[in-house]
Amino acid sequence: MAKKVFGDLEAGNKNMGGVNALFTPPAKIKKVEEKEKVEDLDKTSLFSLAIPVEGYKYLRELLTLKTKQGNLSYNLKGAFLEGLELLKKDNPLVKDEASLERRLYRGGGQKNKIETYSTSVVIPKREINWIDNYILQERQNDEFFSKPDFINNLIEKLKKKYGKNL
């Protein structure tokens, strides 16, 4: 019996179209270039909020005012995004790119225990990245800066625009 070589195996069974029809040698496989994953910043994601109760009351009053003015589609998300835009105008150096540093919001609750109203909004990842970067920037000045502090800053911007008492 003759010794078979790899070339004979590639020829394979002539009735099946050869082994090449079913098997591709590793040397002939082209490497697929891995595409760099780019986060789609316009996709939405759930963002949890811990709004201090006083701030939540103000937001509810603002919603009532906007409804009386005829803007029936204005809701908590609309108020949050409006306040976020006001913060963005005052902090143009904060970027909306994903930060390499991990989000840790729990430290602020240790400074001042406050009663909060918990809810969430669905917003673009771009906005969440901006919020993370804003909190990181503020932590450079105050290591206990937290998400409720961010919400307080956001509500202060709304109070500046609409007045403290609605």
* 41-68 tens-digit pLDDT: 678 899 998 898 999 999 999 999 999 9
Give the span between the Cα atoms of 71 and 45, in whole angstroms.
25
Structural domain boundaries in the chain: 1-31, 44-162
pTM above 0.75, yes or no: no
* Tens of pLDDT, residue by residue, the chain (166 residues): 566 555 555 555 555 555 555 666 666 666 555 444 455 767 889 999 889 899 999 999 999 999 999 999 999 999 999 999 999 999 888 887 776 555 555 544 445 577 888 999 999 999 999 998 899 889 888 888 888 889 999 999 999 999 988 7
